[in-house]
Structure 1
Amino acid sequence: MIRFLVLLLATLLALPALAQSVSDQPHTKVELIAASSMPAPGKPLTIGIALSPKAGWHTYWLNPGDAGAPTRAAWTLPAGTAEPAELQYPVPGTLVVSGLMNHVYETTNVLVTSVTPPAGLAPGSAFPVSVQVDWLVCSHEQCVPEAATLTLPLTIGDGATDAVMGPRIVKAREALPKPLAATASWAVQGQRFVLSVPMAGLEQVQRAWFFPAGDLVINHVTPQAVTRAGDALRIETDAAAPGPTGEVTGVLRVEMAGEPPIGFAITAAPGTVPGPGAALATGAGSDDSSGGGAPGLALVLLGAVLGGLILNIMPCVFPILSLKALALAKGNVDAGKARAEALAYTAGVVLVVTALGGMVLALRAAGSQVGWAFQLQDPRVIGFLLLLVTAIALNLAGLFEVTLTTGNLGQDQARSGGVRGSFFTGALAAFVATPCTGPFMAGALGAALVLPTIQALSVFAGLGFGLALPFLLIGFVPALRRRLPKPGAWMVRLRAILSVPMFLTALALAWVLGQQAGVDGMAMGLAGALLLGLFLWWLGAQQASGKSLLMPGALSLATVVAATLLIEAGTPPSGAAVASAAASELGAVKFTPAALADLRAQGKPVFLFMTADWCLTCKVNEKGAMAATAVADSFKAKGITVMEGDWTRSDPEISEWLAEHKRAGVPVYVFYDSKGGERELPQILTVDELTSLAG
């Protein structure tokens, strides 16, 4: 009996160890983490192995250098689950011990991969993920091999981000090397290996180090001479014997003024490299905590301002700006009032844009991979915008007037005039501009997602400033106000004309709603717009008869809320997504990371475009340059595979890809050539640019 009780106690004590996701070894703490504790069937789940060496110890990178060993993982997964991809390592550091160069991690490092539960698994079913991890941990005096078996007891669910582990996965992905769009080149000159890496922001680079992924490329311990040669970073060191052949891959770690080190995944082809260039910045005087003197941030802010400025010509913003500008001419306001209204308008724009940017940053910090205009991936938001734009269009068309007793959709403040009206007009313009991502915005918003919070918010504020800049200039420059046409009957006709682009915007939003929520969802949205239109027609008739109304504000708000909430926000119906004409003409295949990796492994050229139905720039390119017959013929002749990533509804794989490429939203166009090179194209495409792509 005693032996039985002892055996039972030992068994019970061993049970938790069978499902442990954390193990404390003598010199390392190791953990198994996942982005979600309830992964969705058929959707990739990011998982990570976190290694935390104790003080004075270190673990190793994929290529450990002159000594050491990389971490190994052997997975045990439920039946039908494909083996995870190879582990992705964060950017390593260097450590020289006894004349040997080591590529190491002296603090917590998370190795990342992904696993996809089979599509047929039922919600609530168990999905345990187990891994046997073996690693080498060393101090300056000794090395100790350690191992642990970890199990993460997951349950199939909706794929919601885990509140605790999700942010850790986000930080782990941010620590991975970023893909470099430009193709690097290398050459061996005598006994020296020379690497040339084209990249932006060279004037800010203070230090750099190249970590080759393979052996026999360089002598690891030899110092690397780094200079700026034209638009490229030039790294020179001793070549290994007998030296590399073919493509060389690895990670380039770069340290810039006032920023933490970042890494770039490098693929270099044999080729011509420049001679030694200018020395790197010394860093003297570059610890200005405000960042005001950093040209890198200044350029990002300039891109944000220019991107916001361009948004003013979008069909949903231009009518609002035009009427607000003409209101100054109609009101014959003095200079002081004009400046006050301009500042209030700017404050409304900047506040809304910065608030939306802050929401993006907060959601990403909480583990959600979202980007600019993320709210447009919810059909209810599209439904609300449809009703809002319809109401604005009907108001411009003269169906009703907005007064303090109307209370419809919050536009009473927007059209009431004065400082308060200008503030709400700016807020309205910023909100309806979110479907657009124009030129100059992509790089600026992408940079905002990797900058420190204060600098990132300044980029979003810069975008709002650019959007508000035309009206700000009108308010502060009397000469511009004097050039505005004098008030007259023509303003009534112009107002009616300006309703046309708003009606077209409403039509486009109805189409997007159909793409997201199917025919039923679009019908529900149109029914809400019809009810709202009938209500506003009745309201206009009451206004024409001179009646004063107090209740319509509440009634119209109730109409908007009821019609919007009736639209389903769940999974889009099967077959709801319809490929664009350009995608069909080009024979586009659906984007998945695995499919892209497979095509690149086969050496096939790929044109990848990330798009969304609510993205105006995307649709212009797809109806224009991408739809040209010459482009389709050129791609076919060169054997270029076209791959489409549709971000109309939230897609974690696309969100992850955008995050890895430091992009906040769509469109994004990338060409992968047959030699492994990668080049990002501008956001406004031309036929000549597409046909010039080499197969």
Structure 2
Amino acid sequence: MPIRELAGIKTLRIIAMFVTAIWLMAFAPAQAAPNHMRASLIAEGPAAPGGTVTLALLMQPEPGWHGYWSNPGDAGYGLTLDWTLPKGAGTGGMQFPVPQTLVIQGLMNHVYEHDYAVLVPLKLPADAVPGTLLPISVKAQWLVCTNEICVPERAELQGTVTVGSGPGDTRFEAWRAALPAPLDRAGTFAVTGNALRLALPFPASAALEAPHLFLSTEGLIDYGARQRFFRDGDTLVVEVPLAKSPAIVGKVEGVLAMGKDAGGIAFAANPGAVPSGGNEVGGEGEFSAATLGFALLGAFLGGLILNVMPCVFPILSLKALALARGNSHNARSEGLAYTAGVVLACLLLGGVMLALRAGGEQVGWAFQLQEPGVVAVLILLAVAITANFAGLYELPGLSVERGAGNSGAFGTGLLAAFVATPCTGPFMAAAMGAALVLPTWAALGVFAALGVGLALPFLLIGFVPALRRVLPKPGKWMERFRRVMAIPMGLTAAGLLWLASRLGGQVFAGVLLLLAVVLVAALWRVGREQRGGRSTLRWMAPSAAVMIAIAAAGAPRLASTSVVAEEDLLGSVPFDEAKLAEARQNKMPVFLYFTADWCLSCKVNEKVAIETSTVDAAFRIRKVIVMKGDWTRRDPKITRFLASHGAAGVPLYLWYPNGGGEPRQLPQVLTKDMLVDLVGE
């Protein structure tokens, strides 16, 4: 049974548990396979009539398997017990040791990857006869998992308790030490905005290295979100984002783990005031300077590479030629203005992505191209730039005859960055993935570094006169060059129109084509007015605003939500975590790749490497399962899976070898030989 997203709903976990158990009972062989988690029932020692003795459920998973805490997190379910006891006896609640965190395919799990004991108090009957043995039994059910598969298991455990006195089992001392220590005072909690804020009594002198908050109160917080911790004297303030649809609770209970091998404390909190401010201390938000440094460098190099994309290179070329012509008397200031526009666009896109993720949305880099309204606006922009390059009308910011000053350079930078950031290329993928787990200020620094890399060529041309002198001398050829540059921009517009058909269907694409024709006609009229020396600003700006509003808000209403699957040469199947886990359980080789129709590097890899007869023949011989995750439209499951592998966007290529083993992440630039060699390993 694969790990599935269960959305924190306890009822679904229980239903899944019993359906699976019934299925196993119905179709299992006569002799059941041994459990992957061995369970034992142990009594601490004798107890007097009416007294209490502690029982232990000792759980011992096989290497590579794990069990679950009382609140399993985003997936799984915990231990359930059905006791058979002597008349007059009774048990208390289960006491679990401090759990661990385990993130699998983007889901946060609360687990134990080692032997652990769940303690249960047992009160003996008051009329129990000293010297006798009281039989006890329990039917236990649990879920045990690896990182790829889960198996529901059960056992009926037998034991006895001696009525009387005598020495106890010394192992219980260590098992009690593993339990979280209870706080002597209750804390307070408040729900503010989209976060749960918790104030716990915690001595200022107590060490706190790598804390994590585990809530036994279910359905309240986002288990996988970043947790923040602040010290305010002898109070520890914890701030955790809420779940997408948080439960309404009157009390919050859980465990504060204080770091590896540092134990934890059990707490309860009631509604009340929570201090603000304080000094932030360790937690998931910590990162090393080296991690940030590598992310900044990767983003910078990735932005630099984006300059050769067909939708950016024409814009960069014409701006460079405008400077080379000598029409700009302030090359440095224009270079800075262009850079400011590029960096601002990258910061805005990155900031919106971080804000959406903080609000519970599963989005990644280039999320804007998953929105029909944004694609509609991009189509009109690409058509307008193509018409400008073709000489239909003049847009000063993209003219080789005259510059548009700092404002034109700034606007061109905004435009270049907006149309250049759909894909993650070499260096950039790891940087964008790191940005998802860095603190907000550091993540914004990564997006700014991306913008600096994208703007660097034009910035250098503006600041280094020698580079401008290296460029070809001005002449009539520059206007011809501009018209040639209309070809890649026109192809960009055509590609975006194709993307619109894939994203929203034929009707949506048809409406956008009609809008594009109307736009070209309007721009032709603008050109006529400009060549006649007349101003077009009075009616051009309102007309552009109306057309953009129609494209952004009106056209998407016609977009279809149905997905049309495309057949490919390799016969790939759609990405499904359950099917992936099943293939891995059967030790089948799997080539898993994530793509999107708006990702240029993805499509190049598919054309030259993946969907080729050579690779198809090699994969068929070795019976490789090819699985494709199409991220053209927003898909939270794909987004979480990408994030779990440190990627914020596509492409992502994973190879799962024959016979099991850990997946291997492949480079973002593929060749046929590289894929063929995989099956021979």
The TM-score normalised by the length of structure 2 is: 0.62
Partner of 1:644: 628
Partner of 1:166: 244
Partner of 2:491: 504
Whole-angstrom CA distance in 2 between matches of 1:33 and 1:402: 59
1:691 aligns with 2:679: no
1:426 aligns with 2:413: yes
Whole-angstrom CA distance in 1 between matches of 2:458 and 2:509: 35
**Does the 8 A contact of 2:97 with 2:116 survive in 1?**
no
User: What SS class does the counterpart of residue 643 from structure 1 fall into?
Assistant: strand
> Does the C-alpha gap of structure 1 residues 599 and 347 become closer, same or farther in structure 2, counting only changes over 3 Å?
same
User: What SS class does the counterpart of residue 331 from structure 1 fall into?
Assistant: coil
1:678 aligns with 2:663: yes
> Does the C-alpha gap of structure 1 residues 296 and 537 become closer, same or farther in structure 2, counting only changes over 3 Å?
same
Query: How far has the Cα of 1:69 moved from its partner?
Result: 3.2
1:559 aligns with 2:547: yes
> Does the C-alpha gap of structure 1 residues 539 and 102 become closer, same or farther in structure 2, counting only changes over 3 Å?
farther
Matches within 5 A, 1:338-353: 338-353=331-346
- Residue in structure 2 matching 1:655, options 630, 635, 639: 639
Partner of 1:281: none
> Does the C-alpha gap of structure 1 residues 105 and 517 become closer, same or farther in structure 2, counting only changes over 3 Å?
farther
Whole-angstrom CA distance in 1 between matches of 2:181 and 2:360: 25
Partner of 1:463: 450
User: What SS class does the counterpart of residue 670 from structure 1 fall into?
Assistant: strand
1:322 aligns with 2:317: yes
Whole-angstrom CA distance in 2 between matches of 1:70 and 1:500: 73
> Does the C-alpha gap of structure 1 residues 338 and 98 become closer, same or farther in structure 2, counting only changes over 3 Å?
farther
Whole-angstrom CA distance in 1 between matches of 2:447 and 2:217: 45
> Does the C-alpha gap of structure 1 residues 100 and 68 become closer, same or farther in structure 2, counting only changes over 3 Å?
closer
> Does the C-alpha gap of structure 1 residues 460 and 517 become closer, same or farther in structure 2, counting only changes over 3 Å?
same
Partner of 2:425: 438
Matches within 5 A, 1:132-171: 164-166=242-244
**Does the 8 A contact of 2:376 with 2:500 survive in 1?**
yes
Partner of 2:98: 59
- Residue in structure 2 matching 1:472, options 456, 459, 465: 459
Partner of 1:269: none
**Does the 8 A contact of 2:388 with 2:394 survive in 1?**
yes
1:542 aligns with 2:620: no
Query: How far has the Cα of 1:65 moved from its partner?
Result: 4.3
Query: How far has the Cα of 1:572 moved from its partner?
Result: 3.3
Matches within 5 A, 1:285-434: 294-334=289-329, 337-402=330-395, 417-434=404-421
**Does the 8 A contact of 1:669 with 1:683 survive in 2?**
yes
**Does the 8 A contact of 1:606 with 1:673 survive in 2?**
yes
- Residue in structure 1 matching 2:437, options 440, 450, 456: 450
Whole-angstrom CA distance in 1 between matches of 2:182 and 2:353: 29
Partner of 1:594: 578
Q: Percent identity?
A: 47
Matches within 5 A, 1:611-622: 611-622=595-606
Partner of 1:4: none
**Does the 8 A contact of 2:507 with 2:558 survive in 1?**
no
User: What SS class does the counterpart of residue 568 from structure 1 fall into?
Assistant: helix
**Does the 8 A contact of 1:307 with 1:440 survive in 2?**
yes
> Does the C-alpha gap of structure 1 residues 542 and 605 become closer, same or farther in structure 2, counting only changes over 3 Å?
same
> Does the C-alpha gap of structure 1 residues 168 and 317 become closer, same or farther in structure 2, counting only changes over 3 Å?
farther
Q: CA offsets, 1:322-370, max 9 Å, x none? A: 1111111123545xx2221111111111111011111111111111110
Whole-angstrom CA distance in 2 between matches of 1:668 and 1:483: 39
Residue 422 of structure 2 aligns to which amino acid in structure 1? P
**Does the 8 A contact of 1:590 with 1:643 survive in 2?**
yes
Whole-angstrom CA distance in 2 between matches of 1:496 and 1:107: 75
- Residue in structure 1 matching 2:594, options 586, 594, 610: 610
> Does the C-alpha gap of structure 1 residues 528 and 578 become closer, same or farther in structure 2, counting only changes over 3 Å?
farther
User: What SS class does the counterpart of residue 443 from structure 2 fall into?
Assistant: helix
Query: How far has the Cα of 1:485 moved from its partner?
Result: 1.6
> Does the C-alpha gap of structure 1 residues 424 and 148 become closer, same or farther in structure 2, counting only changes over 3 Å?
closer
User: What SS class does the counterpart of residue 593 from structure 2 fall into?
Assistant: strand
Whole-angstrom CA distance in 2 between matches of 1:384 and 1:358: 20
Residue 542 of structure 2 aligns to which amino acid in structure 1? A
1:68 aligns with 2:63: no
Query: How far has the Cα of 1:681 moved from its partner?
Result: 0.5
**Does the 8 A contact of 1:65 with 1:101 survive in 2?**
no
Query: How far has the Cα of 1:500 moved from its partner?
Result: 0.6
Whole-angstrom CA distance in 1 between matches of 2:392 and 2:310: 20
> Does the C-alpha gap of structure 1 residues 101 and 469 become closer, same or farther in structure 2, counting only changes over 3 Å?
farther
Count how many residue pairs are aligned between Structure 1 and Structure 2: 464
Unaligned runs of 5+ in 1: 1-17, 22-29, 35-44, 50-55, 76-83, 88-95, 109-146, 153-162, 170-206, 210-257, 263-286, 404-409
Q: CA offsets, 1:255-276, max 9 Å, x none? A: xxx97469xxxxxxxxxxxxxx
Q: CA offsets, 1:574-630, max 9 Å, x none? A: 4x5342xxx611110011111111111111010001111011111111111112211
**Does the 8 A contact of 1:60 with 1:68 survive in 2?**
no
Residue 562 of structure 1 aligns to which amino acid in structure 2? I
**Does the 8 A contact of 2:219 with 2:243 survive in 1?**
no
> Does the C-alpha gap of structure 1 residues 64 and 546 become closer, same or farther in structure 2, counting only changes over 3 Å?
closer
**Does the 8 A contact of 2:423 with 2:599 survive in 1?**
yes
Query: How far has the Cα of 1:436 moved from its partner?
Result: 2.5
> Does the C-alpha gap of structure 1 residues 666 and 100 become closer, same or farther in structure 2, counting only changes over 3 Å?
same
**Does the 8 A contact of 2:609 with 2:671 survive in 1?**
yes
Matches within 5 A, 1:235-314: 260=283, 294-314=289-309
Residue 365 of structure 1 aligns to which amino acid in structure 2? A
Query: How far has the Cα of 1:74 moved from its partner?
Result: 7.9
**Does the 8 A contact of 1:167 with 1:365 survive in 2?**
no
Residue 432 of structure 1 aligns to which amino acid in structure 2? V
Query: How far has the Cα of 1:417 moved from its partner?
Result: 2.0
Whole-angstrom CA distance in 1 between matches of 2:552 and 2:216: 52
Residue 437 of structure 1 aligns to which amino acid in structure 2? T
Residue 376 of structure 2 aligns to which amino acid in structure 1? G
RMSD over aligned CA atoms reads 4.0
Partner of 1:156: none
The TM-score normalised by the length of structure 1 is: 0.60
Whole-angstrom CA distance in 1 between matches of 2:119 and 2:621: 44
**Does the 8 A contact of 2:594 with 2:628 survive in 1?**
yes
**Does the 8 A contact of 1:60 with 1:103 survive in 2?**
no
Whole-angstrom CA distance in 2 between matches of 1:66 and 1:548: 80
- Residue in structure 2 matching 1:669, options 653, 656, 665: 653
* Worse-superposed segment, 606-615 or 655-664: 655-664
**Does the 8 A contact of 1:341 with 1:419 survive in 2?**
yes
User: What SS class does the counterpart of residue 642 from structure 1 fall into?
Assistant: strand
User: What SS class does the counterpart of residue 556 from structure 2 fall into?
Assistant: coil
Q: CA offsets, 1:81-131, max 9 Å, x none? A: xxx9779xxxxxxxx9956798777899xxxxxxxxxxxxxxxxxxxxxxx
**Does the 8 A contact of 1:445 with 1:664 survive in 2?**
yes
